[in-house]
Structure 1
Amino acid sequence: MASPHPTPTQRNAGIDLVRVLMTMLVILHHTAIVYGGSGGWFWRQEPNASNPLLVMFNAVNQSYFMGLFFLLAGYYTPASFGRKGAGRYLADRGIRLGLPLLAFFFVLFPLTVAIADAVSGEDLLRRWGRGIMGGTHGPGPLWFALALLIFAHAYALLRWAGAFPASGRAAAALPRPGTLLLAMLGIGLVAFAVRLVIPVGHEVLWLQLGYFPGYILLFLAGIAAAPNRLLERIGMRAALPWLAVAVLAIVTLPVVIALHGAAGGFEGGWNWNALYYALWEPFVATGVILTLFAWAAAPARRSGPVARWFAANAFGAFIVHPPVVGALSRWAATIPAAPWIKFIGVSAAACICAFALASALRAIPGVRRVL
């Protein structure tokens, strides 16, 4: 007998729009680092964290956008596993995640480094070839694919062990406000504890484990939400109170920085700032994520040809955007304009070029199977 609320097997137009918007936000996030935002990137024109507005932009993004991707990954996992079985599911993950990870690690990472190293005067192709053969390699933003591969194997193992039975209990509705509040406090305290040992900015096998308590919880929340398609049924009325909480939390960040900026590092450690930041993130993330899905669930969200094109090329754009951002920002460095103008122009151009390049790559035979 068919389930009255089947797990998601087809893409939802509203959720696809959210996925496209988040991919564009990733591109804007990394472009912001070039022009004075905070974070690690291949090249920057302005000093790190030199632009307060872009620092705030990056901080708010970081609180929720990658967590939202993990939530969606968990949301589509049960149906994919159930349809394919463990062997085909893991093989598919190896193709869809492992191949892009390897391509970025050994080809696109050296290319992005070569583009960033334009001041050396050496020919770009020579720098790129030298980087491929003996330079520094890494996953760059494809750490996300690495993490999802780990999560996929962990899910398959736990499913085999009975921790995720195919007909297990699923979330029928959003948790009660008190439950959500306890979850936000709990994940913030766990993140604070993890960051006592591994602060934000420190990597273990290219993964910033200081953020992973939230990522793991959201991946599990996606799995729990899948059987009843809960992410597609969130109403704006339920989301708006949490959005108000998120806005209030966001407003407190510059105040805390101004008044208590010297009270310890926000990245981690036994200090008030680290505790504040660890708790601040889930309060912002909950409101923003719920509101995005409530917006996506509106009946007006329909999938036209343009929207379908962007959705089809979102993952490819995510993969190729680092060299695109690098090339455009390097070119823009020769233009006498204010950094905020360059941020707007380079961000817009990088979004267009990354999606267009992804579309061109998907036209190559066999690539569509991966991207």
Structure 2
Amino acid sequence: MGKQRRVKNRKPWVSNSQSPQGLAAHRSRRTHALDNLRTFLTALVIVHHTAIPYGGVGSWKIRSRCFPEESVVLVVFNVLNQTFFMGLFFFLSGYFTRVQISKSNVPGSTLFYSRVWRLLLPAILYTVLVMPTLDAIVHMSGYNPLEGQTSLWEVYVSSWSQIRGIQGQVWYLALVVPFDTAVILLSQIFDKGANQFLASTFNHKRLLISSAWTTSILSSFAIRIVYPVGYIWSPLGLQLAYLPQYILAYTSGNFASISDDYFILDPLRSGVRKPLKRLVSAVIFCLASLAMLTALQEKFLGINSEELMSLTRGGFNVPALMYAAWNEMGFALVGFSLLAVFLRYCDTPWLLCGAWLPRYSYAAFLIHPLVSLVVELVVESVMDCGRDGCCLYGMWVWAGPVILTLVVGLGNVFASWIAAWAVISRIPYIGTII
């Protein structure tokens, strides 16, 4: 007999043989890979923020006096992170919200109030209490005292007077609330026929996926003509430049839960084979393409790196369009490859000294600015570079920012989880919120 042709058993996007009850039961199972991914992303956010005072790009309360204002390595690190890590956070939010909606015993009103209680309330409290406290810590340390303010009360009053909306990294929580609200309302109205409608829509899956990503790129570019990268929309503390990606990522997470296919909107199907190899290749390709685009645009446009960076932030120009496309490409390549790695290799509980680490990731996310700022101020005082700026020379000026980001960043991660464990374990009722 000749060789039999091997036929792949392709799973349909929505299995018609499964009852709604079966789908709900499947989605209600704990997926450790996604919990671990959320934990990893939280740790990455902490290291990402640690890089800023040592020469990265972004907003933070202090800048180290021991090094130049910018480190090329840390700027690239921050820019690459921006392509995928918040997108994955929104993917997970969309996924877990749909999981909760699929539980027939949870009414929509309960889900909505839980979002207000667990997301919006912490965001408001963070804005009102934590952000002024960060200013107070910097002021008390003498590192960058606020002019004309001598007492802590004056520092707090000054911070409160500048509040125009959500502040700090909790913009993510504030944005998830309207996303979740919209999905909860739509599920109450249309959920009975949602699976059939989406299944019929994805009969033209390739066209829809390409249209979704193209729309995200072009809408990001269009928004940046008016609201460039760095512009903060004060009510939610949000950079509108990245909003299209967050909408796409959240929608992808919702579809992933409905379809039982995590890569339903992945244009390259990163989860098919060899995810770790794909992740490494994706990172290398993104870095190489960034370097190539930078060199080509500087050459053909006849501009320097500072002028190019200014143009990439927004406006009706080629660099802004290229950056919008590259940013979405990074999410498609690195984001889904990282998801595939966790699904393949990290689907067991992450425990440390008997503690389940994902349980404290949300609290660590909220607490880490306080913890990180204190640690970084202590490091600055130990290094004692003085008010006149950099006092270090040679290779340390260039290698130091990277080394300190790694060492201090990992210390901040560890300290943030310890603080999160203490807050949840020792303060009554906090665990019911976060």
> Structure 2 length normalisation: TM-score?
0.76
- The residue aligned with 1:219 is 250
Q: Distance in 1 between matches of 2:312 and 2:68?
A: 15
What corresponds to 1:273 in structure 2? 319
Instruction: Report if the CA contact (8 A) 2:57-2:78 is conserved.
Output: yes
**C-alpha contact (below 8 Å) 1:246/1:285 kept by paired residues:** no
1:312 paired with 2:359, answer: yes
Q: Which residue of 2 is the match for residue 350 of structure 1?
A: 412
Give the residue type in structure 1 aligned to 2:116.
G
Greater shift in the superposed pair: 192-201 or 168-177: 168-177
Letter in 2 for 1:142: V
- Rounded to whole Å, the distance in 2 between the matches of 1:355 and 1:34 is 21
**Secondary structure in structure 2 of the residue aligned to 1:199:** coil
Q: Please give the per-residue CA displacement for 1:14-34, whole angstroms capped at 9, x wherever unaligned.
A: 111111110001001111111
In structure 2, the residue matched to 1:29 is 48
Matched, 1:250 2:313: no
- Residue of structure 2 equivalent to 1:140: 168
Residue type of the partner of 1:87?
S
Aligned residues: 368
Q: Using the TM superposition, give the Cα deviation of residue 165 of structure 1 relative to its aligned residue in structure 2, in angstroms.
A: 4.9
For 1:194, the aligned partner's letter is I
How far apart, in 1, do the equivalents of 2:256 and 2:132 lie? 39
Residue type at the aligned position of 2:273:
R
Q: Which residue of 2 aligns with 1:155?
A: 183
Greater Rg by CA: 2
Please list every run of 5 or more consecutive structure 2 residues that lacks an aligned counterpart in the other structure. 1-18, 265-269, 299-304, 384-395
Shift, 1:81, TM fit: 2.8
Would you say the 8 A contact 1:8–1:76 is kept in 2? no
Structure-to-structure mapping, 1:67-106, within 5 angstroms: 67-83=87-103, 84-106=106-128
CA shift, 1:216, in A, is: 0.4
Q: 1:225 to 1:108 in 2, by over 3 A?
A: same
Letter in 2 for 1:12: T
RMSD: 3.0
Report which stretch shifted further, 178-187 or 24-33: 178-187
2:39 is equivalent to residue 20 of structure 1: yes
Identity between Structure 1 and Structure 2 (%): 27
Alpha-carbon distance in 1 for matches of 2:402, 2:283:
26
AA aligned to 2:44 is: L
Q: After superposition, what is the alpha-carbon deviation per residue over 1:267-295, rounded to whole angstroms, capped at 9, x for unaligned?
A: 11111110110000111111112212211
> Residues 145, 121 of structure 1: CA spacing in aligned structure 2 closer, same or farther, 3 A cutoff?
closer
2:141 matches 1:110: no
Counterpart of 2:392 in structure 1 is none
**1:122-271 matched pairs, under 5 angstroms:** 128-135=152-159, 136-137=162-163, 138-162=166-190, 165=193, 167-170=195-198, 180-204=209-233, 205=235, 206-231=237-262, 235-237=271-273, 244=281, 247-259=284-296, 260=298, 261=305, 262-263=307-308, 265-271=311-317
Once residues 347 and 299 of structure 1 are traced to their aligned partners in structure 2, the CA distance between those partners, rounded to angstroms, is 24
C-alpha spacing 1:146/1:178, structure 2 compared with 1 (3 Å): same
Instruction: Indicate whether 1:38 and 2:57 are aligned.
Output: yes
Which of 335, 343, 348 is the equivalent residue of 1:289?
335
Q: Among residues 342, 366, 372, which one is paired with 1:325 in the alignment? A: 372
Distance 1:64 1:228 in 2: 22
Q: Is the 8 Å Cα contact of residues 224 and 314 (structure 2) preserved in structure 1? A: yes
**8 Å contact 2:36–2:346 — kept in the other structure?**
no
User: 1:150 Cα deviation (Å)?
Assistant: 1.6
Deviation at 1:178, TM superposition (A): 7.0
Whole-angstrom CA distance in 2 between matches of 1:219 and 1:227? 13
What is the deviation of 1:245? 5.3
CA contact (8 A) 1:243 1:287 kept: no
One-letter code of the match for 1:108? V
